[in-house]
Structure formats: C-alpha cells, structure tokens
Amino acid sequence: MRERQERPGEKAGQIWIGIGVIVVSMGFLAWLGYGESKTYYHTIAELQTLQGRALKQRMRAGGTVAPNSIRRYTGRVDFCA
C-alpha cells in the first residue's frame, strides 16, 4: 500500500488551524470570565432606587459608613443607621 504524500505547506496549514482554534477558545473563555466578574458601582442614593435583577448583581457602593453600622448576614451585608 502506498503512503499518502504530503503537499508542500500542508503541515503549516494544519499548524495555523490549530493555533486559530486555540486563540478563538482562549478569547471565548476570556469573554465569559469578563462577563462573570463585572462589578457595578453605585452611590448610596442610587442603591435606594434599585429594583429587580439589579439588586441581585454584584455591586460596589461608595459612601461613608457610620461606626458600628455594619451587619453581616449569610449572602448579604446590611448598613444600619
């Protein structure tokens, strides 16, 4: 039985296809990671107006916290006056 002969440049084409698959895969994973790690910044006044899904997303709040006003619970943190 005769072995198949490689054409010039065929191996290089296979390598470029492999590199392309790896680059696309890494880009897709980076895009997914970016979407999961986004954190929104809100002021204290904005926090009072949030509704629905916005309340369940990760967020950062900016403002001054009164001493001894932080209450930590499972899955949330409350700031009491």
Strands 59-62 and 70-73: unpaired
3-state secondary structure of 50: coil
Residue 21 confidence (pLDDT): 96
H/E element, 40? strand 40-43
Residue 38 confidence (pLDDT): 67
Residue 62 confidence (pLDDT): 79
Residue 36 confidence (pLDDT): 65
Segments of the chain with pLDDT less than 50: none
Residues 6+ apart with CB under 8 A from 70: 77, 78, 79, 80
